[in-house]
Structure 1
Amino acid sequence: MSNADRQHDLVVWGATGVAGRLVAEYLTEQYTPDTLSLAIGGRNEDRLQAVESDLVDRNDEWGSLPIVIGDATEPETLREMARGTRVVCTTVGPYTKYGTPLVEACVEAGTEYCDLTGEVNWTREIVDEYHDAAVDADTRIVHSCGFDSVPADLGTLLAQSFAMEEFGAPCSRARIYVESGSGGVSGGTLASAAELFEAASNDPEVRKVLGNPYSLAPPGEREGVDPGEQRLPRKDPLRSSWTAPSPMAPVNERVVRRSNALLDYPWGRGFRCTEVIPTGPGLGGAATAGLISGGLGLFTLALSFGPTRSALKRFVFPDPGEGPSEEQMEAGHFRVRVRGQGTTDDGPFTVDAVVGTDRDPGYGATARMLGESAMCLVQDDTDSPLSGGVLTPASAIGEPLAERLQTVGFTASASVANEDGES
């Protein structure tokens, strides 16, 4: 089906949830009906009509927004929706439970797709099942376009591009530092985490995927020199600080390695990357790293066992679709630094890339990251050599995403680190 035959440029799927609604709000604030044919979609027509009414009240320039109804349990409704739009932007998770029929519908219809998933096991399933078909269809299926994993993936790309321009060589390793962050955690995010641990407890193949640092690499290339995520407090090799494990490392590191592989290893097959949380120097830094590591370990342990996992879901986690308050979102912020190190004939070099903004990372910032990823697909605003496949933000879109984010309040830039290792 040609794009001229489609009613919409973009459908925000899951617009009645917190994340989906924020994406729709952002797009209707940032763009106009003259530049974007936008629709909202989901399975509950009454709730979608309420969202549509609120969006139009906020910005009457839109007049009205088309509503698309569908259900993951009724694949034909998803196929009909996919045939009617150029791009689907979905926030409906857990993706392991609800995501596959929509991906299949998009590949069949030649419809571009982007999402927020951090579910490594599901991403691997989609890679194995649909990558070749998406390549044949010249259709981009782009996972992890929110806080997982745009800052790490795009930041690494910016650092590597700058290193090539400045020094004529790529960085052989990158350290991804989650330097600061404040914001709420959604019920949907926690439900996805619980779904992942449940799958791992029941399926040895899922455990293999989660245990392999290269599990998202193309088939036949799922091994390498990188040992995987840091699990204990450590003194950092590139800066004078202790570090703790990052809870997002199991996702973000694999996404970055997949980017390198999909782009045909411009950073080398020996490239290593690690994501951590810096906690400062000295005894204070070591103690903080120990506390974070211990807390993350206890949380992981609790999710690993059925009874405690069920108790957390029932009594502690917010329901899917629930999220932080407006005040929490407005007070949020994040900054991720990617420090790359490489060597030329003239000696070693160190570069930094920083991605961040003064918005809640999981909501206000993610709405912009996902929304602008979708717009890059709508407007074919990419510098990628890849026209189809199951891709990552860096491999599908590249630096145009950084340029777009800069225009909406993000820092997304690279520089040379100074002599003491700070940029």
Structure 2
Amino acid sequence: MSQPDRTHDLVVWGATGVAGRLVADYLTEQYSPSELSIALGGRDKPRLGELEATLVDRRSAWEDIPIVIGDATEPGSLRRIAETTRVVCTTVGPYTTYGTPLVEACIAAGTDYCDLTGEVNWVRETIDRYHDDAVAAATRIVHSCGFDSVPADLGTQLVQSFAIDTFGTPCDVARIYLEDGRGEVSGGTLASAAEVFQAASEDPLAQQTLRNPYSLAPRGERNGVDPGAQTTVKKDSLRSEWTAPSPMALVNERVVRRSNALLRYPWGREFECTEVVPTGDGLGGLARASAVATGLKAVTAGMAFSPTREGLRRFVFPDPGDGPTREQTEDGYFTVRVLGRGIAGDGPFVVESQVSADRDPGYGATARMLSEAAVCLVRGEIDSPLEGGVLTPASGIGEPLADRLRQAGLTVAVDEWDGPPA
């Protein structure tokens, strides 16, 4: 837990952005000032003041919400903010561009930190540059606390804990299924994706990070038996249906492998995980899987080619800061399911977990995931042997986050699998 003698429990950094507003809105709705001391952070004081007035008008329990001013390009201002709070919860991306000084400030101040990043190249950079410093400072830097990568990471941890408790052994394989869902995409999310592809086109380390399935593992442990993400259409061996590659596998699979490594391999060194998009059986399922795979290849090719990427940025992508309305975020939904397969004394077994919500995955549900991850850090609700470092949701917080997400209205469940649907 961060130092107790701070002015604020939690600073929402980037509070006037799309995701930041949703986080601030959720936290002031869910908690009272006596339960959680919140400050709104950013560089635009008038916009922060407008947000504060809106929230106070909407929430009878909140008479005022403190505002802290800083700039992502001014490390001194970030350090001063970090010193006032126990946790910084940041939605300011692209993190490759704006995230590093805040990580440095939090480690220097001994302030816990959580974010929404899916920029795997930047996560690798923070691991290499700051993990040891964060360990020494007993500070938790917890990346990817939204749709990237809480459902996959926490869902896998739940499967493994259930397998160990029930069967006495972990699963040797986990399959993550990105099932039916609907949601909107903001300019900030697309800008972050473009940053990843731009870094891969210019930086050999970023290229290596995207190629190596174990690129987020600790130094000296970046190899193993897992071949990495599925790249073609395949018939799934567990659910007997067709699957396509998942656009989120690039991030989520690596986060899951890092969790296993940081926790000292409770799931075994030969553990494998794959994330896929299930599309059904028969010729219809095959056709849908082929369409998903073809579309993903087209998008990847377009983002990898610099002129196409810049054209998309200028003429197709919404501007950073633009995103779905509150009504749109409440109209979405998603389900992520994890099946873990193992072998015990009585033979093979399969465990199933589910993380789902009746809100937009990238914004409505993500705001709740990030918010509750931050509250876990504030309150020291941690089930992990690790006291600091550059961590994942599973290794940095663990199963208390599942409890909080259930209270926040998400479905988070785990049990022995009954078999494929009829």
TM-score bracket for this pair, using the shorter chain length: over 0.9
| TM-score w.r.t. length of structure 2 | 0.98
User: Which secondary structure does the structure 2 equivalent of 1:61 belong to?
Assistant: coil
What is the match of residue 242 of structure 1?
Answer: 242
Count of equivalent residues: 422
1:52 paired with 2:52, answer yes
- Give the residue type in structure 2 aligned to 1:133: D
Distance 1:229 1:8 in 2: 41
Contact 2:383 2:398 (C-alpha < 8 Å) held by counterparts: yes
Give the superposition deviation at 1:165: 1.2
Q: Contact between 2:82 and 2:109, CA under 8 Å: does it hold in 1?
A: yes
Does residue 277 of structure 1 match 2:277?
Answer: yes
Q: How far 1:285 sits from its partner (Å)?
A: 0.4
Aligned to 1:169: 169
Residue equivalent to 2:420: 421
1:409 offset after TM fit, Å? Answer: 1.1
What does residue 312 of structure 1 align with? 312
Which structure 2 residues correspond to residues 22-101 of structure 1 after superposition, within 5 A? 22-101=22-101
TM-score, length-scaled by structure 1: 0.98
Range 212-221 or range 310-319, more displaced:
310-319
For 2:116, the aligned partner's letter is L
* Separation of aligned partners in 2, 1:369 and 1:4: 23
Task: Give the % identical residues.
Answer: 68
Question: Using the alignment, how far apart are the partners of 2:420 and 2:171 within structure 1?
Answer: 15
Matches of residues 141-160 of structure 1 in structure 2 within 5 Å?
141-160=141-160
SS at match of 1:60: coil
Report SS of the residue matched to 1:289: helix
Per the TM alignment, residue 422 of structure 1 is displaced from its structure 2 partner at its CA by 4.8
In structure 2, the partner of 1:399 is 399
1:321 paired residue number: 321
Partner of 1:233: 233
Task: Report the secondary structure of 2:314's partner residue.
Answer: helix
**Does structure 1 conserve the Cα–Cα contact (< 8 Å) formed by 2:3 and 2:111?**
no
Aligned equivalents of 2:60 and 2:188: distance in 1? Answer: 30
SS in 1 for 2:61: helix
Q: Residues 145-198 of structure 1: CA distance to partner in whole angstroms, max 9, x if unpaired?
A: 000000000000000011111111100000000111101011111000001111
Contact 1:350 1:421 in 2 (8 A): no
* Cα distance between partner residues in 2 of 1:394 and 1:328: 29
Amino acid in the other structure paired with 1:177: Y
3-state SS of 2:386 partner: coil
Give runs of aligned pairs for residues 190-269 of structure 1, distance below 5 A: 190-269=190-269
Deviation, 1:73, is 1.1
SS for the counterpart of 1:278 is strand
Measured in 1, the distance between the counterparts of 2:326 and 2:141 equals 31
Structure-1 separation of matches of 2:92 and 2:326: 21
Measure, in 2, the Cα distance between the counterparts of 1:158 and 1:122. 27
Q: Residues 197, 234 of structure 1: CA spacing in aligned structure 2 closer, same or farther, 3 A cutoff?
A: same
Q: In 2, Cα distance between the equivalents of 1:247 and 1:421?
A: 24
Paired AA for residue 220 in structure 1: G
Residues 186 and 324 of structure 1 are in contact (CA less than 8 Å); yes or no, is this contact kept in structure 2? yes
* Structure-1 residue corresponding to 2:363: 363
CA contact (8 A) 2:233 2:242 kept: yes
Write the deviation string for residues 265-313 of structure 1: whole angstroms up to 9, x where unpaired.
Answer: 0000000000000000011001000001111100010011111101101
Is this contact kept in 1: 2:329–2:359, CA < 8 A? yes
Distance 1:422 1:396 in 2: 34
The answer to whether the Cα contact below 8 Å between 1:253 and 1:273 also exists between their aligned partners in 2 is yes
Helix, strand or coil at the partner of 2:216: coil
Structure 1 residue matching 2:361: 3-state secondary structure: coil
Q: Which piece of structure 1 moves more, 372-381 or 402-411?
A: 402-411
Distance in 1, matches of 2:157 and 2:328, equals: 30
Quote the residue 1:133 is aligned against.
133
- Distance between the aligned counterparts of 1:176 and 1:102, measured in 2? 32
> Deviation at 1:4?
3.9
Distance across 2 between alignment mates of 1:344 and 1:60: 55
1:133 Cα deviation after fit: 0.6
- Residues 340, 32 of structure 1: alpha-carbon distance in 2 compared, 3 angstrom cutoff: same
> Is contact 1:178–1:335 with CA below 8 Å preserved after alignment?
yes
Give the distance between the partners of 1:58 and 1:277, measured in 2 at CA: 39
Q: Cα distance, 1:60 vs. partner?
A: 2.8
**Superposition deviation, residue 327 in structure 1:** 3.5
Shift, 1:240, TM fit: 1.5
SS of corresponding position for 2:351:
strand
> Displacement of 1:2 after TM fit?
7.7
Give, as a single letter, the amino acid of the residue that structure 2 aligns with 1:181: G
Of the structure 1 ranges 264-273 and 180-189, higher mean CA displacement relative to structure 2 is found in 180-189
Counterpart of 1:421, as a letter, is: P
What amino acid does structure 2 have at the position aligned with 1:200? A
Deviation at 1:328, TM superposition (A): 2.3
Cα distance change on mapping 1:117 and 1:2 into 2, 3 Å:
closer
User: For residues 289 and 82 of structure 2, what CA distance do their matches in structure 1 show?
Assistant: 46
| Residue 213 of structure 2 is aligned to residue 186 of structure 1 | no
AA of the residue aligned to 1:65: I
Whole-Å separation in 2 of the counterparts to 1:60 and 1:50: 17
What is aligned with 1:17? 17
CA deviation after TM superposition for structure 1 residue 205, in Å: 1.6
Cα deviations by residue, 1:84-114 (Å, 9 ceiling, x for unpaired): 1000000000000000000000000000000
Aligned-partner Cα distance in 2 for 1:88–1:318: 27
Give the Cα–Cα distance (whole angstroms) in 2 for the partners of residues 4 and 347 of structure 1.
Answer: 50
1:107-131 Cα deviation digits (max 9, x unpaired): 0000000000000000000000010
